[in-house]
A and B are shown apart, each in its own frame.
Chain A
Amino acid sequence: MGGRRLQERERAGRIPVKRGVDQVGKEKERQKNDYIRHKEKIIIFPVMRLLPFCFSFLVTILLIFILNRPIGTKIPMPLGSFLSPQTGFWQNAEDTAYDYNGSVVIEGLKGNGKVYFDERLVPHVFAENDEDLYFIQGYLHAKFRLFQMDIQTRAAEGRISEVAGAAAVDYDKAQRRLGMKFSAENTLSVIEKDAEALARYTAYTNGVNSYISTLTASSLPLEYKILNFKPEQWTNLKTALLLKMMAQMLSSGTERDLVNTNLRAILTSQQFNLLYPQVPDSLMPIVPKGTIFPRPMHGYKIPSNADAAYFFNNRSVAVSDAYPQDRDNGSNNWAVAGTKTASGAPILCNDPHLELSLPSIWYEMQLSTPTSDVYGVTLPGTPYVIIGFNNDIAWGVTNSQRDVKDYYTIQFKDASKKEYWFDSVWKPAQQRIEEIKVKDQSPVYDTVSYTIFGPVMYDAAFSDTVSEQSALAVKWTAHHTGDEGLTFYKLNRAANYNEYVDAIKTFECPGQNFAFASKSGDIAIWQQGKFPDRWQGQGQFIMPGTDSSYMWQGYIPQSENPHALNPDRGFLESANQRPADGTYPYFIPGTYITPRGIAIEHFLSGMNSITVQDMMQLQNNYYNILASRLLPVFFEHIDEAALTQEAKKYLGLVKQWDYEAGPASVGQTIYQCWLDSVQRNIWTDELSKAGPLTPAPEEQTLMELLKIDTTALGFVDNKNTAVIETLTYQVSVALNAAAKQLAEVEREGNLEWSAFKKPAIYHLLKSNLPSFARTDLPVGGWGNTINAVKKSHGPSWRMVVQLTAATEAFGVYPGGQNGNPGSRFYDNSVDNWVQGKYYQLWMMKPDEAKDSRVKWIMAFSKS
């Protein structure tokens, strides 16, 4: 047997080593065995372990690899770092007894600052000067709301695809084509000419960045971990973008030029003006009726071809706004004079109605320096208090709903979109090439041509329904404005009516109704904005863009904006209605909302010795004034014999209704289903010809029409049938149809209004994070009641301020001060908001640092 074979067998361990017989042989054998044992240690076992090592090492690497990268779009976060208790979401699970005390040393500060957090985590900021004040405001906004600021400004700029991927490219294109960044740049260039304003915005930006620089992988806000991206440096441009986001929310959806153009093609001008009236019969305007307006010096000329090219042009348009703003982005505010209050001091109230979200759009703060002291809600992403009060005055805002955006038809010379026909020449267009970065994909490019009117919103490259020869450019007041923030800087410091007027007069877009009350006893309201002085009918439809005659020829002088000061009746209110009645000498189209104003006037005019509790109740009032006027018309015309058993039952129920649309109201559910059914029966046959997104005439308009004409200009008849339907037929058939739906709803146990409506407040990422939402909230109301809670839209802040010697202020918003979903302050105020409860707002004094309401203190120092 050869040595090699033996060795091999031994290696395999199958046979024992044979011992030799002589010494020499034994010695050789021993040496050989030593060698084999040595080999065993260094070679033989490793070879045996190599395979399992490779296997387990590969498994380890593979595990790490898989856990270190996103799994599909549904789970965009790498699971390893997300689950790790040391870096992932667990790090955002804030101790419910978290200690917010701290001290921050900032080189750039001019002095020292103190922040006192109260039990609701509202910061009371005391700084030595304005710049430090806004630095600290920026720092706190970032500390508690960074993701919100970041995602909102990315959305404004049209950069959502960077985070969300290809699905958001069309949205980003729409934002860029609307000129959002262009308008923010224009505002920024105005800010940069004002050294003091620039210093404030820069301090704010530095504050935000100072906080961002403290972030580590584990302290990143939760949403960054979920979406797997990182915050970038804040800039003054981002602050300007946030102001433009508000402009878009409140003044971009207040026109209906595209649908109106299509309606013009199917309606006579008389029908159009009656179905979509400029001045509703039942309007209670913001400026009391009977106000005398000065005669204007209109400088405009109506185009000579207006009839043929504009009013009676039957052209329709195939584009529509794919991302419409909520048309109920509205609000209530009112001011009551001391003559009507129990205390003898004015009371100011405000509740802005916006999309409700977690975190809330608002962040509550007190901002104080030796020369100014203000309390209220702020918009994370911008400095200043937006709605609030100081030691002399209080103010609140509602949206003006004015149309400040028009479309013009552009004729390009060719597909390059470099020249367009204007005043009989080919005029060169400026082009902006938009690079849209897309997550996990190569960038998308979009060329936007800028005309004399503004950017081209729709052309062959965006929305394939438009040809090059009839592209649409958009003109919007938000494109060129000054610094809207300056108004709030000044309001924060205004001490009387004149300073309030001085503060707001430069405010251009979005047009707002600034309600005002002062400790000196004044109440006032101004509808303030920069509004075009339009000729009758200008800008209701798409306008020809081939010559200058259809351009805006001037603006309404600021001093002639609708306003009122200390009226005899002792109160002023606004609720998104038309600001003035038909005697106002300007053409002011808009998407006004009429009913809430009527309800507020109805209640306020009957009240005396008003207390803050009365005002809180009024903000939470559910009375459906429109239903109280429209239902009697339905009752009058209904044919009970034509009703099904079910319909009779619901008719009986709704007849007992007290018109209160509270959460438990059954009448409101029946009314709403019945009304929707009636609206469909009356309008759909005619108006659907103008496109599926055509808005039906307002509920208000239907009520007014039916009161004077039961055929509603013939619209009650269904044009698709040979017979002529009457109102009696339509309301009866509609109730039968509604009853079927209601029976189903009742079987599911959802007949009560809040169960039917299912109000919810979603996280900013909406349906992607359903478990971050607050759903099934027991809250009533609708867009037409004073407490205007819809499905996830409504009073985003409720404030009542009584201007007694020591201000008594109350407020609540449906959210919490901390944007972190892992904090107990994420949604801690929602329940009180649902129940209509308020917190007393504490205007802290500098010497109250020892007050028991102070829970935590953050010190900012320069060294």
Chain B
Amino acid sequence: MKFFLSILIIGVLSFIVGLFAPWWSIAVIAFIVILLVPARPLNAFLSGFLGIFLMWLVVASFINTANNSILANRIGGLLGIGENPVLLIFITSLVGGLVGGFAALSASYLRGYK
């Protein structure tokens, strides 16, 4: 339960803060949330990873659907993956997820866990 809660908090909080702050605020949020809601390393990593991964996945998917993949296709060409919006969304979310995951993991080690 706590695990799902921290995923949700990380996702929602980093979305709100991300409206004003630079992209790396996702790391700060994941870090702080795990300091406040302690978790074992694996759980912490997964909350950070999934919190950001899912948030970016949802936001990018919404944008992409509304955009009919117009830009995702062009950017896919620029990044060398071709016209593949699904892969581009996955790569996007994976990058965010990794940053969130490692930030949360760091917090878990710093804060300690039972």
Whether the pair B15, A89 counts as a contact (CB closer than 8 A) is no
Any chain B CB within 8 A of the CB of A428?
Answer: no
Any chain B CB within 8 A of the CB of A544?
Answer: no
Chain B residue nearest in CB terms to A75: B79
- Contact residue among B59, B70, B98, B112 (Cβ-Cβ distance under 8 Å from A822): B70
A92-B71 CB under 8 A given contacts A80-B95, A86-B23: yes
Contacts of B75 in A (CB 8 A): 89, 771
Compute how far the CA of A79 lies from the CA of B106 in the bound complex, rounded to whole angstroms: 22
Any chain B CB within 8 A of the CB of A18?
Answer: no
Whether the pair B15, A86 counts as a contact (CB closer than 8 A) is yes
Chain B residue nearest in CB terms to A97: B66
Any chain B CB within 8 A of the CB of A81?
Answer: yes
Interface residues of B in 34-71 (CB under 8 A from A): 41, 56, 59-60, 63-64, 66-68, 70-71
A67-B64 CB under 8 A given contacts A80-B23, A93-B71: no
Interface residues of B in 3-58 (CB under 8 A from A): 15, 18-19, 22-24, 26-27, 31, 41, 56
Whether the pair B72, A93 counts as a contact (CB closer than 8 A) is yes
Whether the pair A84, B68 counts as a contact (CB closer than 8 A) is no
Compute how far the CA of A226 lies from the CA of B79 in the bound complex, rounded to whole angstroms: 11
Compute how far the CA of A217 lies from the CA of B22 in the bound complex, rounded to whole angstroms: 8
- Contact residue among A57, A84, A86, A90 (Cβ-Cβ distance under 8 Å from B64): A90
Least CB distance from A636 to B in Å reads: 50
Whether the pair A771, B24 counts as a contact (CB closer than 8 A) is no
A89-B106 CB under 8 A given contacts A64-B24, A84-B23: no
Any chain B CB within 8 A of the CB of A579?
Answer: no
Binary CB contact string for chain A from 146 to 185 against chain B (1 if under 8 A, 0 otherwise): 0000000000000000000000000000000000000000
Number of residues of chain B lying within 8 A (CB) of chain A: 41
Least CB distance from B85 to A in Å reads: 10
Whether the pair B18, A84 counts as a contact (CB closer than 8 A) is yes
Whether the pair B68, A96 counts as a contact (CB closer than 8 A) is yes
Contacts of A93 in B (CB 8 A): 63-64, 66-67, 70-72
Compute how far the CA of A57 lies from the CA of B24 in the bound complex, rounded to whole angstroms: 14
Chain A residue nearest in CB terms to B83: A771
- Contact residue among B59, B73, B77, B95 (Cβ-Cβ distance under 8 Å from A90): B59
Whether the pair B22, A87 counts as a contact (CB closer than 8 A) is yes
Whether the pair A60, B63 counts as a contact (CB closer than 8 A) is no
Chain B residue nearest in CB terms to A88: B23
Interface range on chain A: under 10, 10 to 19, 20 to 34, or 35 or more? 35 or more
Compute how far the CA of A93 lies from the CA of B72 in the bound complex, rounded to whole angstroms: 8
Chain B residue nearest in CB terms to A80: B23
Compute how far the CA of A291 lies from the CA of B95 in the bound complex, rounded to whole angstroms: 72
Contacts of A80 in B (CB 8 A): 23-24, 95, 99
Chain B residue nearest in CB terms to A63: B99
Contacts of B77 in A (CB 8 A): 769-772
Contacts of B99 in A (CB 8 A): 60, 63-64, 67, 80
Compute how far the CA of A52 lies from the CA of B112 in the bound complex, rounded to whole angstroms: 11
- Contact residue among A87, A821, A826 (Cβ-Cβ distance under 8 Å from B23): A87
Whether the pair A49, B91 counts as a contact (CB closer than 8 A) is no
Whether the pair B110, A86 counts as a contact (CB closer than 8 A) is no
Chain A residue nearest in CB terms to B95: A83
Whether the pair B71, A821 counts as a contact (CB closer than 8 A) is yes
Interface residues of A in 262-288 (CB under 8 A from B): none
Any chain B CB within 8 A of the CB of A824?
Answer: yes
- Contact residue among A63, A83, A92 (Cβ-Cβ distance under 8 Å from B92): A83
Binary CB contact string for chain B from 94 to 114 against chain A (1 if under 8 A, 0 otherwise): 011011001101100110100
A56-B102 CB under 8 A given contacts A80-B24, A85-B59, A87-B22: yes
Whether the pair B106, A769 counts as a contact (CB closer than 8 A) is no
Binary CB contact string for chain A from 512 to 540 against chain B (1 if under 8 A, 0 otherwise): 00000000000000000000000000000
A771-B74 CB under 8 A given contacts A67-B99, A90-B60: yes
Contacts of A94 in B (CB 8 A): 67, 70-71
Whether the pair A86, B19 counts as a contact (CB closer than 8 A) is yes
Chain A residue nearest in CB terms to B94: A83
Compute how far the CA of A786 lies from the CA of B41 in the bound complex, rounded to whole angstroms: 71
Compute how far the CA of A826 lies from the CA of B78 in the bound complex, rounded to whole angstroms: 17
Compute how far the CA of A679 lies from the CA of B96 in the bound complex, rounded to whole angstroms: 59
Whether the pair A823, B70 counts as a contact (CB closer than 8 A) is yes
Whether the pair B56, A53 counts as a contact (CB closer than 8 A) is no
Chain A residue nearest in CB terms to B79: A75
Binary CB contact string for chain A from 93 to 130 against chain B (1 if under 8 A, 0 otherwise): 11111000000000000000000000000000000000
Least CB distance from A824 to B in Å reads: 6
Whether the pair B106, A57 counts as a contact (CB closer than 8 A) is yes
Chain B residue nearest in CB terms to A57: B106
Contacts of B15 in A (CB 8 A): 86
Contacts of A83 in B (CB 8 A): 23, 91-92, 95-96
* 17 sample A-B contacts, Cβ–Cβ < 8 Å, listed by A number: A49-B110, A56-B109, A57-B109, A60-B103, A60-B105, A81-B22, A81-B23, A83-B92, A85-B59, A86-B18, A86-B59, A87-B22, A90-B71, A91-B63, A226-B78, A822-B67, A824-B68
Q: Identify 20 new A-B residue pairs, CB closer than 8 A, beyond the known A217-B22, A770-B77, A772-B74.
A: A45-B112, A56-B102, A56-B105, A64-B24, A64-B27, A80-B23, A84-B56, A85-B63, A86-B59, A89-B75, A90-B59, A91-B63, A93-B66, A94-B67, A94-B71, A96-B68, A769-B78, A771-B76, A822-B71, A826-B70
Closest 4 CB pairs of A and B: A771-B77, A822-B71, A53-B109, A84-B23
